[in-house]
């Protein structure tokens, strides 16, 4: 795992979903990666407001943002709640081509579903049920120097998951597919449930970083300490911008 710290330079997208109304979710990272809310309803979430998806056609699109490409390190975090076991589509970009797509979704296993990342031709998923009706914090980390889907580290509620699935070399394509949160895109199912606090970072966050985000929220982090898996910048003023 990289020891890259969270700081304002590594955050590409921070969607707090605290607007509570309207069709736009503002990006708190300062990069202008605002998202269009298509159909999802505003509800209360783990931190402030959140979105509820109907599982039919609701979606959120980060207009003009095509994700992180190639084998560049990355971390995606978000909260999810649902009692429905299905192949929920969470955060996706890239075309449905072997090694080129980058899809974070649910892995269906009977009445359970698990956190999964796939690249067409390969996948990596855990074994903790996240479709039990409770809110779960999910994190997908692709460490620096990695080149295949099984190199990912998956976290559910701050705990590292096992690596299950078939390996595949990655080369994420960011030519023409904007980041979607909810739409099934190639296959799978529309998201059905509640969704909150999405962060996309161009660095591999550590377990300590992920647990701090989980417990304090993306906008509640206000500690400024040294690197080695700890926070490197003060983000406590983020909510005051919105």
Whether residue 28 contacts residue 217, with contact meaning beta carbons closer than 8 Å, is answered with no
Neighbouring residues of 9: CB distance < 8 A, sequence distance ≥ 6: none
Tokens representing 41 are 């309803």
Report pLDDT for 221: 58
pLDDT of residue 8: 64
Whether pLDDT at 222 is above 50: no
Task: Grade residue 232 by pLDDT with cuts at 50, 70 and 90.
Answer: very low
Of 192 and 233, the structure prediction assigns the larger pLDDT to 192
Secondary structure class of 216 (helix, strand, coil)? helix
E runs forming strands in the chain: 11-15, 24-25, 35-38, 41-44, 49-54, 59-62, 74-81, 89-93, 102-109, 112-118, 123-125, 136-142, 153-156, 159-160, 179-181, 192-201
Cα separation, 159 vs 45, whole angstroms: 21
Contact 57, 39 (CB under 8 A): yes
**Quick one: average pLDDT of 109-119?**
97
CA 130 to CA 205: how far, in whole Å? 21
- For residue 20 the two structure tokens come to 């509570």
Q: Sign of the CA dihedral 193, 109, 135, 211? A: negative
| Domain range summary for the chain, segments of one domain joined by + | 11-218
DSSP for 115-143 reads EEEE-SS-EEE------SSS-EEEEEEE-
- pTM higher than 0.85 for the full model? yes
3-class DSSP state of 109: strand
Q: How far is 92 from 149, CA to CA, in rounded Å?
A: 14
Q: How many residues does the structure list for the chain?
A: 242
Q: Which residues of 102-124 are buried (b: 16+ CB within 10 A; e: fewer)?
A: bbbbbbbeeeebbbbbbbbbbbb
Instruction: Identify the band that residue 125 occupies on the pLDDT scale cut at 50, 70 and 90.
Output: very high
Query: Over the stretch 172-202, which tens digit does the pLDDT of each residue have?
Result: 999 989 999 999 988 899 999 999 999 999 9
Q: What percent of the chain has pLDDT over 90?
A: 85
- Please state which architecture CATH assigns to domain 11-218: Sandwich (2.60)
């Amino acid at each position: 795992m990289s020891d890259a710290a969270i700081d304002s330079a590594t955050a590409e997208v921070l969607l707090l979903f605290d607007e509570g109304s309207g069709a736009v979710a503002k990006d708190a990272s300062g990069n202008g990666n605002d998202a269009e809310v298509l159909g999802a309803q505003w509800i209360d979430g783990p931190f402030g407001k959140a979105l509820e998806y109907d599982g039919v056609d609701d979606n959120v699109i980060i207009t003009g943002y095509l994700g992180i490409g190639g084998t560049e390190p990355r971390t995606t975090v978000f909260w999810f709640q649902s009692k429905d076991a299905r192949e929920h589509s969470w955060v996706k970009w890239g075309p449905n081509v072997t090694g080129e797509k980058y899809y974070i979704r649910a892995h269906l296993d009977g009445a359970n579903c698990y956190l999964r990342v796939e690249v067409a031709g390969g996948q990596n998923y855990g074994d903790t049920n996240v479709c039990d009706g409770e809110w779960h914090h999910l994190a997908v980390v692709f460490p620096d120097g990695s080149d295949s889907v099984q190199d990912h580290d998956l976290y559910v509620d701050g705990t590292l998951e096992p690596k299950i699935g078939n390996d595949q070399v990655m080369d994420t394509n960011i030519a023409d597919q904007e980041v979607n949160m909810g739409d099934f895109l190639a296959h799978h199912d529309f998201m059905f449930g509640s969704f909150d606090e999405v962060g996309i970072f161009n660095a591999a966050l550590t377990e300590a970083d992920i647990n701090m985000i989980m417990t304090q929220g993306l906008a509640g982090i206000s500690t400024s300490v040294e690197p080695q898996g700890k926070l490197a910048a003060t983000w406590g003023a983020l909510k005051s911008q919105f």
